[in-house]
């Protein structure tokens, strides 16, 4: 390590929180932030000179000072964009509203994919791939589908240098083309159920975009199934929303509320939509996954029929369900804090970072040797480890950097630790000295057990914290005034509801809140609609949302 670079070495010996505060207060000095401005499509003809100057400036800047994050409480949106930029999760693409998913952000998406892909296959679904270009006429075939999607379409009108006879839609979702193909593959009840899924990109021409949460193009999986009976279709829809729910709780440590959408909020073309709704750190709701019972709507529009066991032709009963890269945004906004990202161990691309510490050159070899042994021990037991042995940065810089990247555990190894055969372990979720334990023996079986145990603890602790936050921000309401008060405090309101679609839209207009869902978990007892005073069968949850 070069001595010139040791200026911030003192970080090591002061509690991270004070260092972090110092960093944060300098946030106003930050020169630019990619993600704050929406880039336009730029012409590059006049770019080079100016860009080069800018690059030189960036290059010359102290990189540590760039990594400053707006306090979450001060400006949640700025905090979110800062975390995405500084943790290198994503960047804007050159076309308005598009996003480049950078390796660290993509690795989180890969963790989501790996878990769900296994669950989909276990429940009998096969992956396949449908073309993304859909004839415009297809979109028009299901009445409410076209109404829902036509304002958001991107259209290809020129191919191979020629104007096309029929415009092609770049898929916003695939129900139409799926049904077109199902019609060719499904003949009799023996061909059912047909259970498929695809991992794909989709395009929706959104006007207000936000990285991960709402982008012009995004990545998702979309499941599509066809069944012989409405009961089977309903079972499928419930099965898939259950898989999403379990994923959210057990992997992402996000305590979603699972329920049914109101008619107003149901997917364009579906009979029923089930949803998982997550409370973000600013208390806004994020619709994080949906499962639609399509009934026979698309089957009727496309003539998707089968011959049943009695030789009678019937339309199939269908479902579709999806989770997208939006979920990555949900993870950031659920767990992150002022120091940056905080990742649940089960979906963290790096679960443990090892930071070796030495002052003198004669200490370096022993420290690096011990760090490398620790890395091998943990890696062999299946833990995702990163050893940050670069000598370009100080340990203090590295501490901040990997905290900002949300790595759940940090192992520090210095000369004294080597001498005593132990390491220091810090938890990302407990700041400062409280989260730091000294003298953990390097002995492999001890270290492995300790680390695995701590990762489990962090996983549980993130979920518990999110549950507590969620529950303390949901207000039970019995009048419209109660609801208005709850929403104006930024909270979620839960209350009995049996009013009309018009009343629902009135609530939205007057408070900005929508029905997120009728939750599966319903309170016992007689209910009275808080809006009309009529009897109500269910409570609904209202909130402002992304």
Neighbours of 52 (CB within 10 A): 10
Q: Which of 228, 387, 423, 197 is nearest to 291 (CA)?
A: 197
| Tokens 């620790």, residue located | 374
Q: Which of 260, 267, 263, 272 is nearest to 501 (CA)?
A: 263
Report CA torsion sign: 395, 401, 404, 409: negative
Contacts of 470 (CB under 8 A, 6+ apart): 255, 257, 279
Is residue 158 a contact residue for a copy of itself (CB under 8 A)? yes
Helix 501-511 vs helix 480-488: crossing angle, to nearest 10:
40
CB of 526 to a copy of itself, least distance (A): 47
Q: Which of 543, 532, 539, 536 is nearest to 503 (CA)?
A: 532
Please pick, from the candidates 23, 72, 180, 210, the single residue that binds a copy of itself as defined by CB under 8 A.
180
CB of 152 to a copy of itself, least distance (A): 6
For residues 455 and 344, the answer to whether their CB atoms sit within 8 Å is no
Q: How far apart are CA 233 and CA 470, in angstroms?
A: 32
Of 81 and 540, CB closest to a copy of itself: 81
Please pick, from the candidates 38, 313, 416, 433, the single residue that binds a copy of itself as defined by CB under 8 A.
313
| Tokens 């400053």, residue located | 68
Structure tokens at 520: 């599966």
- Beta-carbon-side half-sphere exposure of residue 140 (alpha carbons within 13 Å): 6
Segment near a copy of itself (CB under 8 A); pick from 86-94, 241-249, 263-271, 414-422:
86-94
Please pick, from the candidates 79, 106, 402, 518, the single residue that binds a copy of itself as defined by CB under 8 A.
106
Of 206 and 242, CB closest to a copy of itself: 206
For residues 289 and 276, the answer to whether their CB atoms sit within 8 Å is yes
Structure tokens at 400: 């901040």
CB of 314 to a copy of itself, least distance (A): 12
CB of 379 to a copy of itself, least distance (A): 13
For residues 292 and 320, the answer to whether their CB atoms sit within 8 Å is yes
CB of 284 to a copy of itself, least distance (A): 24
Please pick, from the candidates 1, 20, 85, 177, the single residue that binds a copy of itself as defined by CB under 8 A.
177
Is residue 331 a contact residue for a copy of itself (CB under 8 A)? no
- Strands in 282-349 per DSSP E: 285-295, 305-307, 313-315, 317-324
- Respond yes or no on whether the N-terminal peptide bond of residue 51 is cis (omega within 30° of 0): no
Residues 32 to 51: which contact a copy of itself by CB under 8 A?
34, 41, 43-44, 47-48, 51
Is residue 429 a contact residue for a copy of itself (CB under 8 A)? no
CB of 66 to a copy of itself, least distance (A): 11
- Residue 171 sits at φ, ψ, to 5 deg, of -50, 130
Task: Number of residues interacting with a copy of itself: please give it, by CB under 8 A.
Answer: 81
Q: Tell me the C-alpha to C-alpha distance, in Å, between residue 351 and each of 149, 168, 248.
A: 40, 44, 18
For residues 495 and 476, the answer to whether their CB atoms sit within 8 Å is yes
Residues 351 to 370: which contact a copy of itself by CB under 8 A?
none
Of 184 and 472, CB closest to a copy of itself: 184
Strand 474-476 relative to strand 492-496, pairing: parallel
CA 404 to chain centre: 17
Q: Which of 203, 202, 201 is nearest to 154 (CA)?
A: 203
CB of 271 to a copy of itself, least distance (A): 22
CB of 227 to a copy of itself, least distance (A): 17
Is residue 59 a contact residue for a copy of itself (CB under 8 A)? yes
CB of 277 to a copy of itself, least distance (A): 26
Segment near a copy of itself (CB under 8 A); pick from 72-80, 92-100, 330-338, 451-459:
92-100
Please pick, from the candidates 100, 118, 264, 505, the single residue that binds a copy of itself as defined by CB under 8 A.
100
Q: Which of 455, 206, 218 is nearest to 329 (CA)?
A: 218
Please pick, from the candidates 5, 18, 22, 94, the single residue that binds a copy of itself as defined by CB under 8 A.
94
Residues 201 to 220: which contact a copy of itself by CB under 8 A?
201, 203, 205, 207, 216-217, 219
For residues 108 and 115, the answer to whether their CB atoms sit within 8 Å is no
Q: In the beta sheet, which residues pair with residue 410?
A: 353, 426
Please pick, from the candidates 111, 168, 407, 543, the single residue that binds a copy of itself as defined by CB under 8 A.
168
CB of 500 to a copy of itself, least distance (A): 30
Q: Is 214 helix (H, G, I), strand (E, B) or coil?
A: strand
Residues 386 to 405: which contact a copy of itself by CB under 8 A?
392
Neighbours of 479 (CB within 10 A): 12
CB of 288 to a copy of itself, least distance (A): 20
Is residue 81 a contact residue for a copy of itself (CB under 8 A)? no
Strand 313-315 relative to strand 352-356, pairing: unpaired
Please pick, from the candidates 12, 64, 154, 366, the single residue that binds a copy of itself as defined by CB under 8 A.
154
CB of 101 to a copy of itself, least distance (A): 4
Is residue 472 a contact residue for a copy of itself (CB under 8 A)? no
Of 77 and 392, CB closest to a copy of itself: 392
Please pick, from the candidates 3, 184, 310, 472, the single residue that binds a copy of itself as defined by CB under 8 A.
184
For residues 313 and 268, the answer to whether their CB atoms sit within 8 Å is no
CB of 439 to a copy of itself, least distance (A): 35
CB of 158 to a copy of itself, least distance (A): 4
Is residue 87 a contact residue for a copy of itself (CB under 8 A)? no
Is residue 103 a contact residue for a copy of itself (CB under 8 A)? yes
Of 107 and 467, CB closest to a copy of itself: 107
| Tokens 């009840």, residue located | 189
Residues 502 to 531: which contact a copy of itself by CB under 8 A?
none
Residues 123 to 152: which contact a copy of itself by CB under 8 A?
126-135, 137-138, 141, 150-152
């Amino acid at each position: 390590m070069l001595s010139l670079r040791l200026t911030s070495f003192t970080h090591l010996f002061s509690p991270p929180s004070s260092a972090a505060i110092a960093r944060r207060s300098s946030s106003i000095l930050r020169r630019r932030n990619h993600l704050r401005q929406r880039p336009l499509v730029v012409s590059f003809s006049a770019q080079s000179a100016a860009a080069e100057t800018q690059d030189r400036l960036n290059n010359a800047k102290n990189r540590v000072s760039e990594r400053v994050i707006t306090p979450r409480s001060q400006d949640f949106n700025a905090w979110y964009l800062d975390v995405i930029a500084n943790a290198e999760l994503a960047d804007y693409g050159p076309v308005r509203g598009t996003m480049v998913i950078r390796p660290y952000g993509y690795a989180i998406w890969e963790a989501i994919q790996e878990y769900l892909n296994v669950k989909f296959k276990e429940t009998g679904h096969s992956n396949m791939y449908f073309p993304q270009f859909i004839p415009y006429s297809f979109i028009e075939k299901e009445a409410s589908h076209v109404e829902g999607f036509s304002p958001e379409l991107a259209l290809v009108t020129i191919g191979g240098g020629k104007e096309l006879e029929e415009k092609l839609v770049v898929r916003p979702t695939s129900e139409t083309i799926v049904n077109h193909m199902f019609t060719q593959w499904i003949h009799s009840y023996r061909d059912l159920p047909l259970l498929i899924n695809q991992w794909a990109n989709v395009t929706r021409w959104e006007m207000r975009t936000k990285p991960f949460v709402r982008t012009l193009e995004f990545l998702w999986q979309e499941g599509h199934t066809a069944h012989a009976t409405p009961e089977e279709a309903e079972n499928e829809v419930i099965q898939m929303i259950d898989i999403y729910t379990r994923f959210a709780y057990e992997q992402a440590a996000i305590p979603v509320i699972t329920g049914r959408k109101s008619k107003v909020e149901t997917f364009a073309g579906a009979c029923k939509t089930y949803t998982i709704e997550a409370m973000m750190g600013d208390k806004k709701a994020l619709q994080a996954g949906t499962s639609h019972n399509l009934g026979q709507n698309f089957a009727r529009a496309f003539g998707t029929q089968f011959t049943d066991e009695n030789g009678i032709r019937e339309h199939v009963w269908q479902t579709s369900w999806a989770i997208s890269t939006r979920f990555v945004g949900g993870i950031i906004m659920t767990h992150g804090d002022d120091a940056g990202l905080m990742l649940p161990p089960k979906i963290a691309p790096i679960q443990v970072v090892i930071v070796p510490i030495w002052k003198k050159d004669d200490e370096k070899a022993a420290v690096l040797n011990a760090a490398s042994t620790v890395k091998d021990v943990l890696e062999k037991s299946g833990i995702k480890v990163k050893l940050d042995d670069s000598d370009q940065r100080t340990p203090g810089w590295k501490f901040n950097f990997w905290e900002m990247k949300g790595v759940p555990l940090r192992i520090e190894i210095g000369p004294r630790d080597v001498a005593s055969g132990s390491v220091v372990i810090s938890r990302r979720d407990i700041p400062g000295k409280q989260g730091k334990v000294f003298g953990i023996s390097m002995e492999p079986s001890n270290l492995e057990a300790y680390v695995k145990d701590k990762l489990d603890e962090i996983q549980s602790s993130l979920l518990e914290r999110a549950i507590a936050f969620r529950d303390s921000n949901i207000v039970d309401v019995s009048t419209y005034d109660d609801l208005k008060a709850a929403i104006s405090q930024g909270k979620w309101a839960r209350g009995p509801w049996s009013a009309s679609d018009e009343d629902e839209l009135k609530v939205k207009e007057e408070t900005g809140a929508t029905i997120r869902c009728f939750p599966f978990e319903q309170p016992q007892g007689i209910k009275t609609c808080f809006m009309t005073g009529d009897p109500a069968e269910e409570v609904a949850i209202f909130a402002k949302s992304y």
